[in-house]
Structure 1
């Protein structure tokens, strides 16, 4: 994946260059104090991430940071996204350790802290520093553990994945409204109709849908877009917090959509080599009009803009009905980067972390179309008027604050279920290729294994002395179509 991690949920897998001008260097230097290396000489900070499409943003931040801190040099390494978690893990057991790194997706953040990968930031992150963040952006169980702060978020979440539409392909297929605007799909049937029209009107030269699954499994992204609004607030990996239970088999919408996905393939609406394409190649094929719809995230926009491809639209939470039955549940908090517990220059690494998580960097983040900032004042539409990015900003209406067990009971953060295999992505791929014939049986097995993994993790946490129970995952009063305010039990 090519997105900087800003994870606030275990299931979360996850930019455009616009004409918006950067703030003047004078403003930047005024906002961020000029400092030198604590050693009194120029030091080099090793920094790792997996942000390919967001590289230009990071490169500009490095340039600005080094102008403000002439005695600190940033040595950036962008690792392969598919191997990033493994590479960070390997680095912990070697001497090739970055001073500051984007936090990998696995193992869980708390497990990484247990392994002593990351350094607490309390030495620098005093109350004044913390006060600049919105309410609950920093909280126990998310980025604070046992009173120690280890990271901070840079973005606020909308629905993390979107359905992207190649406008030119839609126009050629006659998928336009009476005013000539592109007809944006809002339901499963709309997507089916559009895919059929594109494939037939092009005589099979262009496909309705496409994706790239060769570099790493990303079919779960499609579930975020097509399932969550269909009364499946747990998505592809979480329990339904109304009951605290996994519902992959008991909620028929999972099977209904997976069967529809297979039907699209059977009818030749999906680009035939999608399973073996890399995500990067799939983005290029979408740009060239080889297929009309794909699923991805806001990070796609940077590469397309660099290629001067801007004629596309987007939407999200596609559902069986005209309107979503529920909205995407987000959780306050999250994390982005962390300082290595073995950092050679921790003070200088903190200076770089402080810069990246600052309101000023967050404003430039929005101006460059990377994502929404964790600081609400930065999410002003005037800061970025690029139409596709504005459409992305508008998808915020499909997201609401959902329940968060770690806010109600911070000790829930000590519950770390084991990874279940075959995973949902394996089931999707297997059914798509015909290797899985009993879809309902596979979903039932996955549901049962996921529930057992959670139950076992709760029992283990209890044995370790933590006050947790299955009740921590039940929010019986939750209406997934409305914001939720977590209450103490």
Structure 2
């Protein structure tokens, strides 16, 4: 067993962030920014639309600071960034710094394939991060590769709504729907009296996002695990009633014509844009939703409403999230590594940046107390308060045994995955949801067993037991000391 300790952290930090998919959150547009720059500029690609104003201010300061330089920033939708990065890797044109949204490959494998280099952060930066860096998530082979800018108190299936459309339908915005039945009732009210607005829209064409959202819906419905894996025994159970019932609920909205036509192929830009324009009342999205919408349409602030994640029949909400992964990664062949490390150390690890993150209403910042110091919308602040009370730190196998990174390197994607099953269920290509989810459980188990054997054959000390946490308890954080 390999557990995280303060001593191990200091050793790793003195030498110098688990999955590279954590960047799959955050809203996005479909366009891109300024493109790659010349040798005189540090290039930076990511998918964080709502953080652009904060980054613009930082990049302008950095360009004028001692040891700084201009930064050429490019933005891509999270679904498209992975494709852009793959093309850039093939042509040896990766940016100096990038996020990993859309790559869908574990960080250890990306490191082995030459995508990322270790960071050399300043001592002040290391001190700011002392409580969040973990082996197998941010630290690999004793070196820090990335760090989180967000906090783990988050889920991505928030019920956002247009208060003016709700009022027109005779609904009380101060008492929004919180259960499947009350949501259906509210949607039907919009259908009949909403002035032509659709009751609900969703970004079903964004399969990575919808998979993440269904994982949280299943947790809120009672699933005691994450990404299909039960905490206590480590078994895959995508076919659990919580998953089946949650997906059946979503499908019923389409069946009852409560879903906006076209949603099956839309990404967040399409669905969110129509929702914020008043074409739909309800939209499921992450906490970054107001940051994206209000930056483009400040007047929508008067119409913004929020409700917590839906549950089948009410009661306490319990969701679970592992430690946040790293957000920004350095390219090995960067000609501006020293400047990139200075930029990351001096600006993106600081408490002030947590306030900047909160100001832009992105995911909850690494320092949650920064939210109250921010200029964020009152509905966003309300949501972060719910997150504090209803999101718990999940047990994470790679923190229990860092050798699981060797399994991650060997693991191949299972297809069809949860997101493609969801989309197929909405398009009619997956008629038997329960059977498809059972096959996903079986295929995921088989692939993990194969990857474990492959890792063991190369000397990794790892087993299925590393995925089980029999001492886990619902509604509580799984803390670092419990890994011992």
Give the TM interval when normalised to the shorter protein.
Answer: 0.7 to 0.9
The answer to which structure has the higher helix fraction is 2
Residue 448 (structure 1) shift:
0.5
Match of 1:174 in 2: 170
**TM-score calculated relative to the size of structure 2:** 0.86
Match of 1:453 in 2: 447
| In 2: Cα distance, 1:8 partner to 1:376 partner | 22
Match of 1:184 in 2: 176
Matched, 1:389 2:389: no
Residue 46 (structure 1) shift:
1.2
Match of 1:255 in 2: 244
Residue 262 (structure 1) shift:
1.7
Residue 10 (structure 1) shift:
5.0
| In 1: Cα distance, 2:471 partner to 2:316 partner | 19
| In 2: Cα distance, 1:270 partner to 1:353 partner | 42
For residues 218-264 of structure 1, the C-alpha deviation after alignment (integer angstroms, 9 at most, x for no partner) is 432441442211122434x3411112011111x21211222222221
| In 2: Cα distance, 1:286 partner to 1:447 partner | 34
Contact map agreement 1:15 1:301 (CA 8 A) in 2: no
Contact map agreement 1:246 1:451 (CA 8 A) in 2: yes
| In 2: Cα distance, 1:482 partner to 1:87 partner | 39
Q: 1:97 to 1:260 in 2, by over 3 A?
A: closer
Matched, 1:94 2:91: yes
| In 2: Cα distance, 1:223 partner to 1:324 partner | 18
Match of 1:22 in 2: none
Match of 1:244 in 2: 234
Contact map agreement 1:169 1:292 (CA 8 A) in 2: yes
> Secondary structure of 1:228's partner?
helix
Residue 275 (structure 1) shift:
1.3
> Which one of 146, 151, 154 corresponds to residue 151 of structure 1?
146
| In 2: Cα distance, 1:356 partner to 1:437 partner | 46
Residue 217 (structure 1) shift:
5.5
Number of aligned pairs? 447
Residue 9 (structure 1) shift:
7.6
Contact map agreement 1:244 1:475 (CA 8 A) in 2: yes
Residue 86 (structure 1) shift:
2.5
**TM-score calculated relative to the size of structure 1:** 0.85
Q: 1:333 to 1:444 in 2, by over 3 A?
A: closer
Match of 2:190 in 1: 198
Contact map agreement 1:384 1:390 (CA 8 A) in 2: no
Match of 2:370 in 1: 378
Contact map agreement 1:159 1:316 (CA 8 A) in 2: no
Contact map agreement 2:216 2:319 (CA 8 A) in 1: no
Matched, 1:133 2:129: yes
> Which one of 284, 290, 293 corresponds to residue 304 of structure 1?
293
> Secondary structure of 1:208's partner?
strand
Contact map agreement 1:134 1:374 (CA 8 A) in 2: no
| In 1: Cα distance, 2:207 partner to 2:250 partner | 19
Q: 1:479 to 1:455 in 2, by over 3 A?
A: same
| In 2: Cα distance, 1:53 partner to 1:10 partner | 18
RMSD: 2.4
> Secondary structure of 1:400's partner?
strand
Residue 167 (structure 1) shift:
0.9
Contact map agreement 1:118 1:150 (CA 8 A) in 2: yes
Q: 1:217 to 1:95 in 2, by over 3 A?
A: closer
Match of 1:469 in 2: 463
| In 2: Cα distance, 1:139 partner to 1:278 partner | 32
For residues 349-401 of structure 1, the C-alpha deviation after alignment (integer angstroms, 9 at most, x for no partner) is 1112222232222222223323322135534x132352122122123222111
| In 2: Cα distance, 1:245 partner to 1:15 partner | 29
Contact map agreement 1:209 1:291 (CA 8 A) in 2: yes
